[in-house]
Amino acid sequence: VRARNRTRAGVGVNLPDHLLGLRTGLVVRNRAGVRVGTVSRIVTSADGTVRSVLVARARGQGHLRLAPDALRVDGNVVTTSAVRLNR
């Protein structure tokens, strides 16, 4: 997967094409369109590669940690293909 370097708030973040536009506050939905929550944090490694995405669950039910390869950004919505969601 080809990655593009994007700088946000002075920090380099390497985003693969399917994650371009990823930012905190975006709504996360599953493949059925059900709201899972909102992006609360993007965890990166020292070189700026996205390692995981923390999602604040809908209705205040804690957080989920999702792998970046299970996510796709389309406009202002993130869709997860994760079958099993890790806490």
What's the one-letter identity of residue 63?
H
What pLDDT is attached to residue 17?
Answer: 85
Residue (of 84, 86, 73, 62) closest to 28 by Cα position: 73
Q: Which residues of the chain have pLDDT under 70?
A: 1-13, 83-87
Structure-token pair, residue 52: 């995981």
The per-residue pLDDT for 14 is 72
With b for 16 or more beta-carbon neighbours within 10 A and e for fewer, the 35-49 pattern comes to ebbbbbebebeeebe
Residue 84: the pLDDT is 45
Q: What is the per-residue pLDDT for 82?
A: 83
* pTM given for the model: 0.78
What is the DSSP code (8-state) at residue 2? -
Helix (H, G, I), strand (E, B) or coil at 23: coil
Q: Shortest CA distance to 72 belongs to which of 8, 32, 28, 7?
A: 28
